[in-house]
Every structure is written in structure tokens, then in C-alpha cells.
């Protein structure tokens, strides 16, 4: 028989068989379920929140229990998913006990997701000072690496929180549909899913998930970009009622974190670096100053998409290195109002970095900046052409990486130990340990906490040589190790 005729007959038989499939099976193919998620969002001592993207516009219900078998289930909130929000919902369990594990599950149109039969577990935040770990990173490009082995290392570190510091997707577009598609693809990475389902996730954005590379406040569709961001994250808040953006504050275990939006109101990079140039915008900056003044926490962590040092004050840089007037205004405020305990974390640079701004030279204290980048992107060796005020550790460019802050806040003197970990989970540097006593006006620590090799390189550079032993590359800034004084 002619092979084409055999194929035609076989296809006809299959069509006939599908015609006999019961309607019940047809309903299964359209079963209400999770399209993406679930993911644990902002949590506190008496609550936790769960984000999910449903497969259609129907009711989603959160149920939770203190036992795995749900012998005593608690019926939580129900929210109807809406196409206007890409069917993303955030459900919050409230009235809970602090520092307690809770099992949770979701129901869709009153039924459990038949593709996710397991119940998941998360934990409420402690009440008051506690010992806890925060992992963070940036630059997660699924187009570069869909496998993303770094998440094995992150899960092995067992963080209590995970912070996304921007470039969480590489949308590089002003089309909300493109951003939505990339978020959806990122949420089904197999190695990442267990972390999302158990560990609270908090996020800010940077240029590639805000819009295009180096996007600023002129972005013509930034309101739509903000809507997509809010759809796909479960932060405690987004900006203020009269000031849009992704900035917010969050407290955990006796530490205050201040997440900043460096894009929505950013002035163009090309503007002269003076008092008229802002990365944050006036409204967000007032919020930050007021929040820092109100904080009584021993540690106050500034969370930014771009680095805080002068490393990227080169042409084309878009970090705080090109907004130094505003950066120093914030640091001056911290000094002048005697606000202790501040240090910074950042991303974007495609290198692991640990830098310091020696504010002790102008009456303040030394402010450290810990950068983790990338999570899933090509590392870069930009360090050969860049120079921060002080490199506390050499840059890490051998692999993707993740930062880990270990806070010890219970009993005795509070401390924070910072380590950077490679793709296998191995620490790549000697740890940096900070205490509140290190972070108060008049205290100099940068020299005692820096790697001796980095101090030698800095001295060589200050004498006019190359930081790494070569001639000074063209375009390096003059005296980058100094801190600009206030006028």
C-alpha cells in the first residue's frame, strides 16, 4: 500500500478515536489550575502571603494548616482572578503565630490543582530580634540560561528571605506583553520553584525589567511596566499613594530594609551631576530620609539595583557612580542626623563585588556595598577598567553567584556576616563581619576590614600606577578613592 495512503488512514483512525473521548476528559484538559507559582511573598510575624497566576478568570482560595495532612484546615481568603491582572492574585493568611511553620495549598474554582498534589510549607517571621539569613542576587536572564544551577546553591544556603535586586528578567521592551511572557517563563524554572514555594521573595527592578537598557523616567509606558511588576510580585507595598514606584520598607528579625526604585523617576544619565540630578526623585528621597530617621533598628540596609561606589562613574555607567551628588546628599543626611547601622546591597554589575565608601574621612562612618551579580547571565571583568573608592575584596567573575547576609540579633551584640557564594555554593572570599559599633560616626574600619592585597593595590593606584600593576588605563577617574565633600 502506498505509504502516504497508510499515513492518511492512520490519521483518520486517530481522529475517530478522539471523537469518542468522553466529555469528562475534555473538561480535564481545561481544568482550573496554577499557570505559574505558587510563590511566597511578603510575610510577617502574624501573616504570610502567597502569589499565584491562575490559568483563567475564576476563584482562587488559600487554605493553610499547622499539620501537613490538613486535619484541621483553615479556610483563608478567596480572590477571583482577573484577565486585567493577567490572572495573578496575592492571598494573605492572617492571625498566625510568629516564627511558626504553616502548610498551605490553593484551590481553583473550589478544587485542588491536579497537577500539583503536594501541600507546601512556609514560615511566619519571628517577632522581635532573631538570627536569620537573607540571600540576594540580580541579573537573571532565562534567554542565557534556562537551567539556572545557581538555585541549587541558594536552596543549600537555606535563606529565610530572598531579595531580587533587579534585571530579574531581561524584557528589554516597552511592551507589557513581552514583560509578562518573560516573567511567566522565569517562574517555571525547575531549580527555582522549590525556593519560590517556601521562602518569602521580595523584589525591586532595574533597567532590563523596567524597560530598555539604561531606561530612566522618560520611559513612555512606565505605568504599564509598573502594573506588570505589581502583577508578578507580592511585595508589602509599591511606592506611596501619591508617588508611584516599586520602593518600600520591610522589617524582619530586628533589621530594617529599605528597597529603592532607581528607575521610575530617574533623571537621564547625561545630565550634569549636580543637585538638580536625581536617581530617586524628590518624593522617594524624602520618604527614605524620613524612614531612616524613624528606624530604631541596629542595622538599616539600603537595597538598590545599581552599585553605590564610584566603580561605574565611567562613560556609559548608570549606577550611583554617575549620581554622586545625590548619593552623597543621602550619606550626609545619615551622618548629620547621627543615623547608625547603615550599609548597602546592590546588583547589576555582572561581578561579585564588596566595596566601601570611606565616609569616616568626612566625619561619618564607612559605608559598605555588597554586590551580587549575576544569577543567570554572563559574568564580566569590568573591574579592569573601573575603580571604586575602596575594594574590600577582589571582584568575583568566575561564575554566577549569590550573596548571603547572616544576621545574629539574639542575645549579646548584634552582628552581620556577609559571604558571596559561587555556583557550587562555596564561599569565594573571607567573610565580612559588621557590628553596629562599626557603623557609627567617627569610626574608621575600611582599612582593617579590607583584604591586604587590595590595600596594596589601592596604594599603588594612589601613587599613580595601575590598580592591577599596569599603567593607569585611559579614562580612569582622578583620585577615585576620595569621597566628595559637601559644599
Q: For 135-144, 237-246, 354-363, 383-392, which range has the lowest pLDDT when averaged over its residues?
A: 383-392
The percentage of residues in the chain with a pLDDT greater than 90, rounded to a whole number, is: 84
CATH architecture for segment(s) 131-462: 4-Layer Sandwich (3.60)
Q: What is the pLDDT of residue 476?
A: 61
- pLDDT tens for 83-103 read 999 999 999 999 999 999 999
Tell whether the model's pLDDT for residue 8 goes beyond 90.
no
Ranges of each domain in the chain:
34-123, 131-462
Q: Average pLDDT for residues 308-316, to the nearest whole number?
A: 88
Q: For 127-141, 168-182, 190-204, 305-319, which range has the lowest pLDDT when averaged over its residues?
A: 305-319
Q: What is the pLDDT of residue 475?
A: 60
Tell whether the model's pLDDT for residue 247 goes beyond 70.
yes
Q: Which fold has domain 34-123?
A: Immunoglobulin-like (2.60.40)
Higher pLDDT, 198 or 316: 198
Q: Which residue, among 316, 264, 255, 309, has the nearest Cα to 285 in the 3D structure?
A: 264
Exposed e or buried b per residue across 420-456, where buried means at least 16 C-beta atoms within 10 angstroms of its C-beta = bbbbeeeebbeebebbeebbeeeeebbeebbeeebbe
- Which pLDDT band holds residue 26 (cuts at 50, 70, 90)? very low
- Which pLDDT band holds residue 18 (cuts at 50, 70, 90)? very low
Q: Average pLDDT for residues 399-422, to the nearest whole number?
A: 97
One fold for 34-123 and 131-462: no
Exposed e or buried b per residue across 58-93, where buried means at least 16 C-beta atoms within 10 angstroms of its C-beta = eebbbbbbeeeeeeeeeebeebebeeebbbbbbbbb
pTM summary value: 0.92
Q: What is the pLDDT of residue 472?
A: 62
Q: What is the pLDDT of residue 316?
A: 79
**Mean pLDDT (the chain, rounded):** 92
Higher pLDDT, 480 or 436: 436
Amino acid at each position: 500500500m502506498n505509504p502516504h495512503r497508510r499515513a492518511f488512514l492512520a490519521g483518520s483512525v486517530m481522529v475517530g478515536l478522539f471523537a469518542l473521548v468522553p466529555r469528562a476528559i475534555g473538561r480535564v484538559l481545561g481544568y482550573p489550575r496554577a499557570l505559574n507559582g505558587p510563590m511566597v511573598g511578603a510575610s510577617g510575624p502574624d501573616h504570610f502571603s502567597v502569589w499565584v497566576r491562575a490559568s483563567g478568570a475564576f476563584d482562587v482560595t488559600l487554605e493553610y494548616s499547622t499539620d501537613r495532612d490538613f486535619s484541621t484546615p483553615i479556610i483563608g481568603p478567596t480572590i477571583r482572578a482577573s484577565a486585567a491582572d493577567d490572572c495573578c492574585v496575592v492571598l494573605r493568611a492572617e492571625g498566625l503565630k510568629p516564627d511558626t511553620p504553616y502548610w498551605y495549598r490553593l484551590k481553583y474554582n473550589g478544587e485542588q490543582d491536579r497537577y500539583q498534589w503536594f501541600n507546601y510549607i512556609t514560615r511566619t517571621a519571628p517577632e522581635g530580634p532573631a538570627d536569620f539569613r537573607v540571600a540576594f542576587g540580580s541579573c537573571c536572564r532565562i534567554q542565557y540560561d534556562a537551567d539556572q544551577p545557581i538555585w541549587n546553591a541558594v536552596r543549600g544556603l537555606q535563606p529565610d528571605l530572598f531579595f531580587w535586586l533587579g534585571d530579574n528578567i531581561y524584557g528589554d521592551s516597552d511592551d507589557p506583553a513581552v514583560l509578562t511572557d518573560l516573567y511567566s517563563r522565569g517562574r517555571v524554572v525547575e531549580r527555582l520553584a522549590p525556593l519560590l514555594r517556601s521562602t518569602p521573595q521580595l523584589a525591586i527592578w532595574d533597567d532590563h525589567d523596567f524597560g530598555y537598557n539604561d531606561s530612566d523616567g522618560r520611559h513612555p509606558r512606565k505605568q504599564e511596566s509598573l502594573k506588570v511588576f505589581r502583577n508578578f510580585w507580592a511585595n508589602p507595598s509599591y511606592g506611596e499613594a501619591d508617588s508611584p514606584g516599586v520602593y518600600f520598607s520591610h522589617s524582619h528579625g530586628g533589621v530594617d530594609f529599605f528597597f529603592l526604585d532607581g528607575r521610575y523617576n530617574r533623571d537621564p544619565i547625561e545630565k550634569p551631576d549636580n543637585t538638580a540630578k536625581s536617581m530617586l526623585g524628590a518624593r522617594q528621597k524624602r520618604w527614605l530620609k524620613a524612614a531612616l530617621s524613624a528606624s530604631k533598628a541596629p542595622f538599616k540596609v539600603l537595597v538598590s539595583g545599581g552599585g553605590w561606589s564610584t566603580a561605574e562613574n565611567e562613560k556609559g555607567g548608570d549606577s550611583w557612580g554617575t549620581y554622586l551628588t545625590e548619593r552623597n546628599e543621602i550619606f550626609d543626611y545619615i551622618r548629620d542626623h547621627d543615623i547608625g547601622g547603615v550599609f548597602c546591597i546592590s546588583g547589576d554589575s555582572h561581578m561579585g563585588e564588596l566595596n566601601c565608601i570611606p565616609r569616616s574621612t568626612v566625619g561619618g562612618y564607612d559605608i559598605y556595598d555588597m554586590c551580587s551579580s549575576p544569577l543567570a547571565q554572563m559574568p564580566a571583568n569590568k573591574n579592569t577598567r573601573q575603580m571604586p573608592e575602596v575594594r574590600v575584596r577582589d571582584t568575583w567573575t568566575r561564575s554566577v553567584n549569590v550573596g548571603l547576609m547572616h544576621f545574629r540579633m539574639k542575645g549579646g551584640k548584634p552582628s552581620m556576616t556577609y559571604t558571596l557564594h559561587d555556583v557550587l555554593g562555596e564561599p569565594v572570599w573571607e567573610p565580612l563581619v559588621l557590628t553596629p559599633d562599626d557603623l557609627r560616626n567617627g569610626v574608621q574600619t575600611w582599612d582593617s576590614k579590607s583584604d591586604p592585597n587590595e590595600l596594596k593595590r589601592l596604594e599603588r593606584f594612589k601613587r599613580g600606577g595601575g590598580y592591577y600593576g599596569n599603567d593607569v588605563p585611559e579614562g580612569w577617574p582622578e583620585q577615585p578613592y576620595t569621597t566628595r565633600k559637601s559644599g
